[in-house]
Amino acid sequence: MQLLRKILFPVSLVYALVVYLRNYFYDKGIFSSKSFETPTICIGNLSAGGTGKTPMVELLVALLKDNYKVAVLSRGYRRKSKGFVLADDSATVGTLGDEPFQIFSKFSDINLAVDADRRNGIEILEKRSKPDVIILDDAYQHRKVICGFSILLTSFGNLYVDDWYLPTGNLRDSKKEASRAEVIVVTKCPSNLSVDARNAIMAKLKPEPRQKVLFSYLAYDDSLTAVDDSISLDDLKTKKVTLVTGIANPQPLIDYLKFKGLRFEHLKFKDHHDFSNSELDILREKKCILTTEKDFVRLKDKVSNLYFIPVKHQFFDDGELVLKVRLQEFMK
């Protein structure tokens, strides 16, 4: 795979040129961008792959929903529906996509919608729901919308400043576009990342004076959840466990489970994997399956003996408080 990526370097140059021209046309007003009356918060990244966008959306919802009427707008990647869909009691993974359905399952008291056309989605939400704030999930590249507040995520193991354009690297947008963010969050850090190491990353990112750089790691819950049951992670140490992942980067979870002394086989699938009937038959033969929350919402009605491990962003120092204050200042 790495050799193929190197061979495709000329293609990445063409991709880089297209990205440059697209941003240039938006910067010069040749391509139009639109702002909206409702405050909008954008969460996204510059690189393809998992940076923890869904847990960040959930964190923002939790921070805002008690004081504001919150709406979340996502593309609804790999859903089977088309156009604008507003989540309700009949919502499924098929109508929303796995990550939006996960968010709605956890926060059913908010307005959650999916629409690949973010402008159209915002306009309909403003008419139907009249939210106080709209959180745009994975919308950093959607420059047709001018966002009021942008949070850029970059993974500790693959900082955007060290990356290169697709397909040789994972960059899907220009590094200089990081300047549009109010907050940059370095995610998936080691939980013991030193102050010196954080300062070294800050020196590489070179944030502007107005930008705040925060650091977080993935905090896994030792209480595992099923459809109508829960057990502790320690309870699995005596069981034959199969870990099933369909996410971009399962390595942090694998490392955590090994650190906790869990022995398991790992069945790895691509991100947003749509499980076939033959794959489901294999899973049904397993005694105990541990999976991610995103995979759980796709498998819970099809496989028994299924548990997921909750995860959230845990910030270093007072990072969450800093983020909360920045959001409060924006919403004034």
**pLDDT tens figures, 141-165:** 999 999 999 999 999 999 999 999 9
What does the pLDDT average to over 16-27? Answer: 97
Mean pLDDT taken over the chain:
95
pLDDT at 223 over 70: yes
Domains of the chain: 2-68+132-219+315-331 (3.40.50), 223-309 (3.40.50)
Instruction: Return left, alpha or beta for 227; rule: phi > 0 is left, psi -120 to 50 is alpha, else beta.
Output: alpha
DSSP state of 138: T
Task: Give the C-alpha separation, 148 to 182, whole Å.
Answer: 9
Per-residue pLDDT at 209 exceeds 80: yes
pLDDT at 287: 93
Percent of the chain surpassing pLDDT 70: 100
Residue type for position 123? E
Does residue 23 register a pLDDT over 80? yes
Calculate mean pLDDT across residues 286-313: 95
Cα dihedral 165, 166, 169, 170, rounded to 10, equals 100
Q: What local confidence, expressed as pLDDT, does residue 116 receive?
A: 95
Q: Which amino acid is at 261?
A: G
290 Cβ neighbours under 8 A, 6+ residues apart: 224, 236, 241, 242, 243, 244, 257, 264, 307, 308, 309
What pLDDT is attached to residue 4? 86
Interval 164-201: pLDDT, tens: 999 999 999 999 999 999 999 999 999 999 999 999 99
- The pTM is what? 0.94
Q: In the prediction, which pLDDT does 1 show?
A: 65
pLDDT at residue 284 tops 80: yes
Per-residue pLDDT tens digits for 92-134 = 999 999 999 999 999 999 999 999 999 999 999 999 999 999 9
pLDDT, position 191: 94
**Mean pLDDT to the nearest integer, 43-58:** 93
* pLDDT reported for residue 49: 78
* Low-confidence winner among 34-43, 48-57, 118-127, 209-218 (lowest mean pLDDT): 48-57
Buried b (16+ CB within 10 A) or exposed e, 163-186: bbbbebbbbbbbbebbebbbbbbb
Identify the pLDDT of residue 228: 81
pLDDT at 3: 86
